[in-house]
Structure 1
């Protein structure tokens, strides 16, 4: 009996929620958004900077995840 889950039926990995110590990479305020770049990097932004850069980040294929 094969108990392995086919790749198409697996749930995608969900990143852990942001920890409180995370700070905005632009201004140092508390981070509200985690940005995962297509290249594998990660950024953290406060609400202000997340809104400011969201359109361009989505254009380049970055994933945005709210901490709320």
Structure 2
């Protein structure tokens, strides 16, 4: 029985580590939305805080996009 690893399987690269998950700026949960403020800068919000503040943010002219 041959127990060596075939040459084609030896030097396969490992996948890159996952990026650090951004956290909600209000509660620390995983961020789902990135908010770009009209005055510059931005925020990260979880789903709960996005739903809570989305109407007002849109009134102010903020941009919302998925963080995923």
Report how many aligned residue pairs link the two structures: 50
Q: Which runs of 4+ in 1 moved over 6 A?
A: none
Query: RMSD in angstroms over aligned alpha carbons?
Result: 1.2
> Which runs of no fewer than 5 residues in structure 2 stay unpaired?
1-18
Instruction: Give the Cα–Cα distance (whole angstroms) in 1 for the partners of residues 47 and 25 of structure 2.
Output: 12
Q: CA deviation at 1:67?
A: 2.4
Alignment of 1:1-68 (within 5 A): 20-68=20-68
> Which runs of no fewer than 5 residues in structure 1 stay unpaired?
1-18
Instruction: Give the Cα–Cα distance (whole angstroms) in 1 for the partners of residues 29 and 53 of structure 2.
Output: 16
Q: Highest Rg: 1 or 2?
A: 2
